[in-house]
Amino acid sequence: MKRAVQLLIRRIHVAIAKRTIPERIGIYFHALESQHWDCFGACITTLRQLGYEFVSPDELVRGGSRLSAFVSFDDNYHSWYEALPLLDSLKCQATFYVNTLPTLNGSNTEVINHYYDRVRHAGRRIALSRIELRSLREAGHTIGNHTHSHRVLSQMAFDEAIQDIRLANDHLSELTGAVPEHFSYPFGMRRHFTAELRSECLAMGFSTIANAIPGVQHRGQRADAINRTVWLLDAPVEYNIENLSVDGRLFERLTGRSAVT
C-alpha cells in the first residue's frame, strides 16, 4: 500500500510539476555491484550527453556557467573499491560519504550485520578495508564523513550525535591521511537532521552538508548545502531523469516527504 501511494504521488508530480533539469544537480548511490555497472554507465553517459560535467562538492556549490553533476555514494561497501576501474574508464569523479564503524570492525560478524541491517542493505555485506578506503582517495575521489555508526542523528542526544560525527572524522583522518571537508547525514531527509546539528557541523569545519531528498533539485545548491536525488540502478534511465526533473519542493516542505522515489 505504501509503495502504491508513493507511485501515485510521483505520477501526479510528473504530470503537473515536471520541469527542465536544473543546471546543477546532485545524485547519489549506495552499493555498486558488478551486475549494476552497465546501469551506472548508462547514467553517466546519459548525463554527459545532456551536457553535464562531473564535479567535486566544492565545484558544485561554487557554480559557474557549465552544467554540473555531483556523483556521490553513501555508507561503506567493498563494491566501491571493485568499481574503481569503472569510474576511471567513465572519467567520473565521485564523492564517497563513509561510515567508519564497518571498516574498523570488519572482522566482527555481529557488528557488520547490525550495521548493514541499519542501512537496509540486503546484498553482500563486505566493508572496505583500511587499504581500500585509502585507495579511493589516492584514485582522486573525495572522501566525506557519513558518521561513524549510521544512526538517526535527530533521535540521538545532541552531544552523542556530535561525538558520532567527530569519531568518524578522527578515524577518516587516520585512515586516509586527510581531514574530511564534506558531510552527509544518515537517511538524508529533513526530519533526520536539525538546525542545531547543522550549525555545529559547519563550526566543526565542514564545507558542505548533503541531504538525500529526492525531488528538490529545483531548490538549487547553496554554498554550504547539497541537494541530492537517489539514482535507482534497477529503474530505467528515463525514470531517473524524470525524478531529477520533478519540482517537488512544495510537497516536501508541507509533508517532509519526497515527491518522487
**Residue 86 DSSP SS3:** helix
Q: What would the grid cell of residue 200 be?
A: 555545529
Every domain of the chain and the residues it spans? 22-233
CA angle 178, 200, 98 (to 5 degrees): 40
Per the CB < 8 A criterion, the answer to whether 150 and 186 are in contact is yes
**CATH for the stretch 22-233:** 3.20.20.370
Dump pLDDT digits (tens) for 100-143.
999 999 899 999 999 999 999 999 999 999 999 999 999 999 99
DSSP state at residue 22: P
Dump pLDDT digits (tens) for 10-66.
999 999 999 999 999 999 999 999 999 999 999 999 999 999 999 999 999 998 889
CA angle 10, 219, 32 (to 5 degrees): 65
pLDDT at 144 over 90: yes
Dump pLDDT digits (tens) for 215-259.
999 999 999 999 999 999 999 999 999 999 999 999 999 999 999
